Amino acid sequence: MSSPPLRVALVQQDTVWQDPAANLARAAGFVEAAARGGGRVVVFPELFTLGFTMAPEPFAEAIPGPTSEALAALSRRFGLYIVGSVVEAHAPHPRNAAFVTAPDGSLVATYRKIHPFSYGEENLHYSGGTECPVFEVNGIPCGLQICYDLRFPEPFRVLAAKGAEVVFVPANWPARRISAWSTLLAARAIENQMALCGVNRVGRDPHLDYPGRSAIHDCFGEVVASGDATEGLVFGDIDLAQLRAWRKRFPALRDRRPGLYTDL
């Protein structure tokens, strides 16, 4: 029996700058709306309780901790998976981390952003992660990456090699580089024959404008669903049967020759 489509809800949030209480207070409304729309996974933008801050230390917390536990309660209440993001306490610097809570409230995955954004000096304030975990959503192998990670094909290929079929990418991607966002989401989907779910915030922080343009791309790179610059939810259905059939019919991942790529 083929797998039913996975309905994903991307939260295009106008994040209140460095105000966790205000942003968490609004999270329940987004999750409730996602549940009403049939969503099985709700994905918030990168650092959704803060914005893309370069003053992370006062907001650092553990995982599990206040933010993950708040989303875990919403997962239990509405019976769905939630992808959140938080400043995780760590030495010598905090980490930009994403996590996933399940319908029973359990914490099923934590990912630390591997590539801090050096162009914006994120590397001076955050420590990078070292692992690409794969976890299951309704039995579907999934992965996480965060914003700037999208510019690096290697971790997506690692996730594909581990069997990931869907990758969630929370981001704070600014308007001035939004064409790269759309192109890279499509490219990562095509080259790994996986679905990409990229969620971007809207609005403005003290430095940059954010245009939304959240999108779900299928295994062919085609857009399944996309948003504009309006705050709200973007729903899309991922066809897992199509993805698996395409991987079987056109086995590009099996045709790789890693032994020739040692210069990497």
Active-site annotation holder among 61, 88, 132, 147: 147
Residue 231: active-site member: no
212: Cα separation from own chain's centroid: 14
**Has this prediction a pTM greater than 0.85?**
yes
Full pLDDT tens readout for the chain, 264 residues? 468 999 999 999 999 999 999 999 999 999 999 999 999 999 999 999 999 999 999 999 999 999 999 999 999 999 999 999 999 999 999 999 999 999 999 999 999 999 999 999 999 999 999 999 999 999 999 999 999 999 999 999 999 999 999 999 999 999 999 999 999 999 999 999 999 999 999 999 999 999 999 999 999 999 999 999 999 999 999 999 999 999 999 999 999 999 999 887
Residue 113: active-site member: yes
Token reading at 16: 């209140």
> If one looks up domain 6-260 in CATH, what number appears?
3.60.110.10
d(CA 126, CA 118): 10
pLDDT score of 263:
86
Using alpha carbons, list the distances in angstroms from residue 199 to 62, 114, 235: 23, 18, 11
d(CA 224, CA 193): 14
